Amino acid sequence: MTPHIEAKENEIAKIVIMPGDPVRAKLIADKFLEDAKLVSNVRGMNTFTGTYKGTKVTIMPSGMGIPSMGIYSYELFKFYNVDKIIKVGTCGSYSKDLDLGDLVLVNGSYSESTYAKVQDNVEDEIMYASDYINFYLRETAEELNKHITIANIHCSDVFYEEDETLKKKLYDKYGCMACEMESFALFHNAKKFGKKAAQILTVTDNLITGERASSENRQNDVMTMIEIAMESVIKL
C-alpha cells in the first residue's frame, strides 16, 4: 500500500499499461484482460490486474499531467517493483506530417518542467524512452500493418497552448512533432529507478489546423494503439 495505491504488492504485475483516463483503463481491462480483478481504486483510479494471452499485466490510469504521472510511476517503480510501464495516450500534432489518427512512438520527451530538478536535482531537459521496449512496439506495429512515426515530443504543463510561436520553436530546436503531458515524469522515474518505460500516442488534435477528432474516431484510433501495446507486452 502507498498513499495513492491500495493494492497488495503481488497484485500489481511487473508490466503496467497506463492510459491517462480511468474510464479508458476499465475499457481496456474489459476488452483485453482475462480474469481481471480491481486491485486499487484510490481517487477513482481504477486499476485492474489480469492476464493477456497468459502474461500477467496491470492496467492503471496515470491521470493527466506530469505531477499525476510522477506520483503513480514513482510508487509503481519504487514500492511495487514494477519493471516496465507503457503509457498509451493521445497527443496534439505540431507537424503537418502528423494527421488525426496517426500513431506516434516517442523517442525523446522535451519539457520545461521542473519535475526532475525538484525531485532529484536533475537538470536534463530531454528524457528518453526505453530503446528495448520501443524495439518491440515498433516491431508489433509492423506486424499489425500499422504505420507508426518515431518522434520526439513536447511534454507540456499546458493543454491550451496559446503562444503561436511555441510549436515552431520546439519543432526547430528539439524536433518535437507533437505534444502531450506525462512522458517526462514517466521517463525520468524509469531512469531514476533503473526501470524501463515507453509511450505510444494517437494524434487526436491538430494544433496547426485546430482540427479535433470526433469522440467516435478517438475511441477507434485509440484501440489500435492499445492493441499494439498489449501485443508487445507478451514479448517483453
Q: What is d(CA 103, CA 138) in angstroms, rounded to the nearest whole number?
A: 11
Q: What is d(CA 228, CA 236) in angstroms, rounded to the nearest whole number?
A: 13
Q: What is d(CA 87, CA 226) in angstroms, rounded to the nearest whole number?
A: 10
Q: Shortest distance, CB of residue 56 to ligand HPA, whole angstroms?
A: 29
Q: Shortest distance, CB of residue 158 to ligand HPA, whole angstroms?
A: 8
Evaluated on CA atoms 92, 99, 131, 48, the torsion sign reads positive
Question: What residues contact residue 70 under an 8 Å CB cut-off, 6+ apart?
Answer: 115, 119, 185, 189
Q: Shortest distance, CB of residue 161 to ligand HPA, whole angstroms?
A: 7
3-state helix, strand, coil in the chain (%, to 5): 35, 30, 35
Burial class of residue 47, CB neighbours in 10 A (0-12, 13-18, 19+): buried
Provide the 10 A C-beta neighbour count for residue 51.
15
Q: Shortest distance, CB of residue 154 to ligand HPA, whole angstroms?
A: 8
The contact set with ligand HPA (CB under 6 A) reads 90-92, 156, 159, 179-181, 204-205, 207
What are 127's three cell numbers? 528524457
Phi and psi of 188, rounded to 5°?
-65, -45
What are the catalytic residues? Answer: 205
